[in-house]
Structure 1
Amino acid sequence: MINSGATNPLPLAGVRVLDVSQVMAGPYSCMLLADLGADVIKIEPPGTGDQTRGAMGFKMKGADSMGFLNMNRNKRSVALNLKSSAGRAVFLRLVKTADILVENYRPGVMKRLGIDYAVLHEVNPALIYASISGFGQTGPWADRPGFDLMAQAMSGVMSVTGYPDGPPVKAGVPVADIGCALFATYAILAAYIGRTKSGEGQFIDASLFDAALAFSIWDTAQYWGTGVEPYKLGTANHMSAPYQALKSADGYFVMGATNQKLWSLLCAKIGRPELCDDARFMTNPLRLANRLELVAELEKTFITRASTEWVELLLAEGIPAGPINTYPEAFDSAHGKHRQMRIEIDHPIEGKVPNIGFAVKLSATPQQVRMPPPLLGEHTASILAELGVNEVELASLTADGAFQP
């Protein structure tokens, strides 16, 4: 179990979050809040739980997938049937104790269950209610099912991903899902700070589509500035050149000479001073306009040495460069280890479980792993006891099918 030993209370200690979400964007957002000390109660359907528990094409020792274990630490789990009257009654009691609720069902589902924002605002006016969906709560596409792939395709991200002559390619990581989780978390924390002044909660509408579009800064800057529709560039970009992967004697590496000083240094370092005086490459706009010719000229030199040699030579000159690592290489690198980007936590079934570490580091109140990812319904009994549910009510809840004891 990771624990920094810090004595200061975590920033969100005492904040209660109801995680009524599944798969990625909602659970990831809630885990970020949990890492900062929030008491996150994961509300899951009895029997199956979060869909991600059974996802992926391989099995662990227990029933939960590695994906679930990587997005649900520091949470408590309640298996609660929100379709039953008794389940909803228990849920509303939880809502009265909560500061934040995060859900990612399709628009309209929470209303049909009788637990949408309008209802819960009456129960708890201070509640911050974040709805995460594929396309938002309003608009012509609002009712569509939405996953990361659809958001990447329909937002334009896939139109600029890959090489010009290649088939459609999505980003290798779920940028819409994770981006939406981050935007939702930023909005939740802003709303929480705002509540300290107003005393009122509010509704947050976050979508994968909006998040993916929000990442399009450079592409839309070019489009709005020139009228040229953004297009695929492989590893290059629209802002500067050379800035991409380049072929070496044993593969590829990345480098960027993003201003005139770095370009001059590059030409000198690789023994090609004539490139600085080449009319095609004298300025950044010219290098962008003649990028293919530029790459061809540079690779005439770069294919004479291995990637690691070029990276070392360029870095010694102050020119940004780096190898193209696999994930194992990145996690196992000296830097990845120093940054603690792979951590291990204790799990009651799996033993030591690897998790991705904390992506940002707080000096006075560093995030902590206080609990492993929960088993389905692991904390149902204890949380019901916190709510004051007695044995008679417990028997009634069991008969109603509200939860699995």
Structure 2
Amino acid sequence: MTLQSNAAPPPPGAAPHHPEHDAEPAGARRDAFGREASGPLAGIVVADFSRVLAGPYCTMLLADMGATVIKVESPAGDETRAWKPPVYDGQSTYYLSINRNKRSIALDFGDHDDVTTARGIAAGADVVLENFKPGGLDRFGLDYATIAEDNPSVVYASITGFGSAGGANLPGYDLLVQAMSGLMSLTGDPQTPAYRSGVAVFDVITGLHAAVGVLSALHERSQSGRGQRIEVNLMSSALSGMVNQTGGFLLSGNVPTRMGNEHPSIYPYEPLPTADGDIVLAIGNDRQFTTLCTVLGQPALATDPRFATPPDRSHNRAELRPILVDLLAGKTAAEWFDVFTGAKLPCAPINDVRGGIDFAQRLGLEPVVEVGAGEESIPGVRNPITFSATPASYDLVPPGIDADRDDIVQWLRCTGPHS
């Protein structure tokens, strides 16, 4: 088959033009390996030197959208391949959940030929993404400055735990960032120890930030022909991602603390008990509170001076909560869900993950997709972005270690020699 190279040609005067990097004619949308591709990033090649979560999550999103992602692993493979249980057909579900639509090649950076191959992959890519410690790739000639000499239009994204300055030597684990950013101090009840989030939330947020940065840089490159380096780190993503909590401290000096399931500024905005279990209420304004009081058969509560405005309800939550609990005791959580939903009040049952998937299916969100085809296909979670013209695809199951070496080496031959 004919393999296509994908690095976009710069406009005249901006950067050298490499004919092997020309895009295909309009309508002939294919990936770097000659396969038909329909996503908005079809034709983009991503050299993925990342592992674990933030980087692989970012590159999986790009791959879903049509990019050709070459996953460069050590001979031992991405660490998450060994993170078990749970497993699917003996494989780590952690690894499988964030590595679909990619191709794998195993390279030993202690071997000169393998380093040369790695540099060739980076030289032929539109995007290079890595999450080594700052400076960790310099000695292999895989740093931005060296790669940009061969590939001046490259978008080079680096993910670290704490940046490349004072935190360069700190290990970049999500749990450490949850602790040091302040998130753990906000998670749990006032009487409990600090808790981590049930998901590596800052790895995910950082992966999303990296994807936004990559797409922004690709857009800028389409105008100027210039590549650039992007840096994101978990600590900065954490402080940004804690939004009103970090903003509240900066603007008011208030240091937030653990409040369990309560919200610091809104009430009622938490799970409340019913006749047989909890239901979550999310009452964010006076209109909703008035409706709630009417539905509960106590419309006068809405004009009670203690509860008339959001600050009133927030300050007097200790008085309001037992009133609501008493009123909710007359029906089950399922019954209240039907009543509140019918009144257009924000509410929710507390599901486990199975319940969450089932609920999304009942809503018609089609959360589960088939990744790959035939007997080797596996279930996966749908990419959350919907495109009307260039939908995401789920063509390739997560690759085995070094599964695509021959195709990748052939692609390198077709893109020309690299120093």
Common fold: TM-score over 0.5: yes
Residue 156 of structure 2: which of 129, 133, 141 is its match? 129
Residue 324 of structure 2: which of 298, 317, 320 is its match? 298
Residue 172 of structure 2: which of 143, 146, 168 is its match? 146
| Residue aligning to 2:367 | 341
Q: In terms of mean alpha carbon deviation, does 357-366 or 30-39 score higher?
A: 357-366
Residue 95 of structure 2: which of 68, 93, 102 is its match? 68
Residue 347 of structure 1 deviates from its aligned partner by: 7.2
Q: Does structure 1 residue 117 correspond to structure 2 residue 161?
A: no
Q: Does structure 1 residue 92 correspond to structure 2 residue 87?
A: no
What do residues 187-207 of structure 1 show as CA deviations (whole Å, max 9, x unaligned)?
A: 000001111122111111111
Matches within 5 A, 1:4-83: 9-46=38-75, 48-62=76-90, 64-83=91-110
Conservation of the 8 A alpha-carbon contact between 1:83 and 1:113? no
Q: In terms of mean alpha carbon deviation, does 49-58 or 25-34 score higher?
A: 49-58
Q: How many residues in Structure 1 have an aligned counterpart in Structure 2?
A: 380
Residues of 2 paired with 1:75 and 1:84: CA distance?
24
Q: Does structure 1 residue 387 correspond to structure 2 residue 416?
A: no
| Residue aligning to 1:353 | 378
Residue 345 of structure 1 deviates from its aligned partner by: 2.4
Amino acid at match of 1:373: P
Conservation of the 8 A alpha-carbon contact between 1:59 and 1:65? yes
Residue 334 of structure 1 deviates from its aligned partner by: 5.6
Q: Does structure 1 residue 107 correspond to structure 2 residue 134?
A: yes
Residues of 2 paired with 1:222 and 1:91: CA distance?
45
Amino acid at match of 1:381: D
What do residues 379-398 of structure 1 show as CA deviations (whole Å, max 9, x unaligned)?
A: 10121122229xxx9xxxxx
Conservation of the 8 A alpha-carbon contact between 2:186 and 2:194? no
Residues of 2 paired with 1:291 and 1:225: CA distance?
24
Residues of 2 paired with 1:44 and 1:252: CA distance?
46
Amino acid at match of 1:19: D
Residue 250 of structure 2: which of 224, 239, 243 is its match? 224
Conservation of the 8 A alpha-carbon contact between 2:160 and 2:233? yes
Amino acid at match of 2:99: N
Conservation of the 8 A alpha-carbon contact between 2:386 and 2:392? yes
Residues of 2 paired with 1:239 and 1:60: CA distance?
43
Residue 134 of structure 1 deviates from its aligned partner by: 0.9
Which secondary structure does the structure 1 equivalent of 2:137 belong to?
Answer: helix
Residue 369 of structure 1: which of 383, 394, 398 is its match? 394
User: Which runs of 5 or more residues in structure 1 are unaligned?
Assistant: 1-6, 394-405
Residue 293 of structure 1 deviates from its aligned partner by: 2.1
Residues of 2 paired with 1:337 and 1:282: CA distance?
34
What do residues 347-368 of structure 1 show as CA deviations (whole Å, max 9, x unaligned)?
A: 78x8442211111211111100
Matches within 5 A, 1:160-309: 160-309=186-335
| Residue aligning to 2:14 | none
Q: In terms of mean alpha carbon deviation, does 196-205 or 233-242 score higher?
A: 233-242
What do residues 101-154 of structure 1 show as CA deviations (whole Å, max 9, x unaligned)?
A: 11111212112333111211112111111111111222x222100111111111
What do residues 153-210 of structure 1 show as CA deviations (whole Å, max 9, x unaligned)?
A: 1111111111111111111121100000000000000001111122111111111111
Which secondary structure does the structure 2 equivalent of 1:358 belong to?
Answer: coil
Identity among equivalent positions (%) equals: 37
Amino acid at match of 1:152: Q
Conservation of the 8 A alpha-carbon contact between 1:128 and 1:192? yes
Conservation of the 8 A alpha-carbon contact between 1:330 and 1:336? no
Which secondary structure does the structure 1 equivalent of 2:48 belong to?
Answer: strand
Conservation of the 8 A alpha-carbon contact between 2:373 and 2:395? no
CA distance change for structure 1 residues 225 and 91 in 2, over 3 Å: closer, same or farther? closer
Superposition CA RMSD, Å:
2.0
User: Which runs of 5 or more residues in structure 2 are unaligned?
Assistant: 1-35
Residue 337 of structure 1 deviates from its aligned partner by: 6.7
Conservation of the 8 A alpha-carbon contact between 1:266 and 1:319? yes
| Residue aligning to 1:322 | 348
Residues of 2 paired with 1:134 and 1:313: CA distance?
46
Residue 250 of structure 1 deviates from its aligned partner by: 1.2
Conservation of the 8 A alpha-carbon contact between 2:360 and 2:366? no
| Residue aligning to 2:24 | none
Conservation of the 8 A alpha-carbon contact between 2:100 and 2:396? yes
Residue 59 of structure 1 deviates from its aligned partner by: 4.2
Residues of 1 paired with 2:106 and 2:164: CA distance?
27
Residues of 1 paired with 2:109 and 2:83: CA distance?
22
Which secondary structure does the structure 2 equivalent of 1:26 belong to?
Answer: helix
Q: In terms of mean alpha carbon deviation, does 33-42 or 300-309 score higher?
A: 300-309
Residues of 1 paired with 2:37 and 2:378: CA distance?
27
Amino acid at match of 2:81: R
Residue 319 of structure 1 deviates from its aligned partner by: 1.1
Residue 268 of structure 1 deviates from its aligned partner by: 1.1
